[in-house]
Chains A and B, each alone.
Chain A
């Protein structure tokens, strides 16, 4: 797994308090990992901080799964 994926996974595990093996490529933050709307905002802010990038609101809306996040950040970072 790439370095970016590892770092994203670490943030998700820490923030949502979920088991690492639950954070799969297709795992939805809200449907599978128990995030609420505020969690998703916090995750996006944590990604921005960790990777030093800006994630605009319309892009943030498309980040639904762990895989989406890794893909977006890999392209932006």
Chain B
């Protein structure tokens, strides 16, 4: 099950915890993977770990020209982009009254606008191929909201609306567009929490623990696979029961 042999996948934010695990899962299923991220070193390390069928594609998603060129570079390196995983994301948290325009815009640019640009570029080749998979990594807070994260939550809710609209546009061409919405996952982003914050979060999670990057990667793998061809415009929530939606 879930055989991606012969498919090429571009994963953004592959230098991060969840992105690296997504790349491992897709690669493990036989896909060629394009590893994108801002920091070259962890991308090179991941490529070395995975071995064959990997391409390192550094890209700063806050620079529009870089974003525009990324899908082209990936297609040149891998022959095509059959699977696009928009996983890269940033936070610039702050209460709304103290949030600057810059902090708002930076998060919208990287999380939402770059996702739009990469989808637009990738869909072209997928339409010709009559097959494609786009998986956008949203977040539980896009649905529930979270104090201190108006920018992040707006960007993640925006990804859901984008995905549903795009899904409707391209469904007839064998292309699916879905979201995976992680809850609290053990990553560098949640490592910053102190014990008290951590305990507070866990009281809201019926599973009683944080999720793992592997559990997010498994959801992405499913949505990227041929078996999920009839699933589109969906958001798969992976949050330990924290929000049952």
B124 touches A38 (CB 8 A): no
Per-position 1/0 for A15-50, Cβ under 8 A of B: 000000000000000000000101000100100000
Instruction: Judge whether B127 is part of the interface by a CB distance below 8 angstroms.
Output: yes
A contact face: mostly helix, strand, loop, or mixed: helix
Task: Please name all residues of chain B whose beta carbon is closer than 8 Å to the beta carbon of A42 when the two chains form the complex.
Answer: 127
Q: At the interface, is chain B mostly helix, strand, loop or mixed?
A: helix
Tell whether B29 is near chain A: CB-to-CB under 8 Å: no
Number of contact residues on B: which range applies? under 10
Q: Is the CB of A45 within 8 A of B124?
A: yes
**Bitwise interface map of A from 37 to 67 toward B, beta carbon under 8 Å scored 1, else 0:** 0100010010000000000000000000000
A29 to B170, CA, bound (A): 19
Chain A residues whose CB sits within 8 angstroms of the CB of B127 once the complex forms: 38, 42
B172 part of interface (Cβ distance < 8 Å): yes
B:105-124 near A, CB below 8 Å: 124
Q: How far does the Cβ of A43 sit from chain B's closest Cβ, in whole Å? A: 11
With both beta carbons as reference points, the residue of chain B lying nearest to A46 in the complex is identified as B128
Whole-angstrom CA separation of A36 from B172 in the bound complex = 10
Complex Cα gap A47–B140 (Å): 42
* A36 CA to B169 CA, complexed, in Å: 11
B173 contacts across to A, CB distance below 8 A: 38
* Closest residue on chain A to residue B170 by CB atoms: A38
Q: How far is the CA of A38 from the CA of B173 in the complex (A)?
A: 9
List of B residues within 8 angstroms of A36 by Cβ = 172
Of the A-B pairs whose beta carbons lie under 8 Å apart in the complex, a sample of 8, sorted by A's number, is A36-B172, A38-B127, A38-B169, A38-B170, A38-B172, A38-B173, A42-B127, A45-B124
| The 7 residue pairs across chains A and B that have the minimum distance between CB atoms | A42-B127, A38-B172, A38-B169, A38-B173, A45-B124, A36-B172, A38-B170
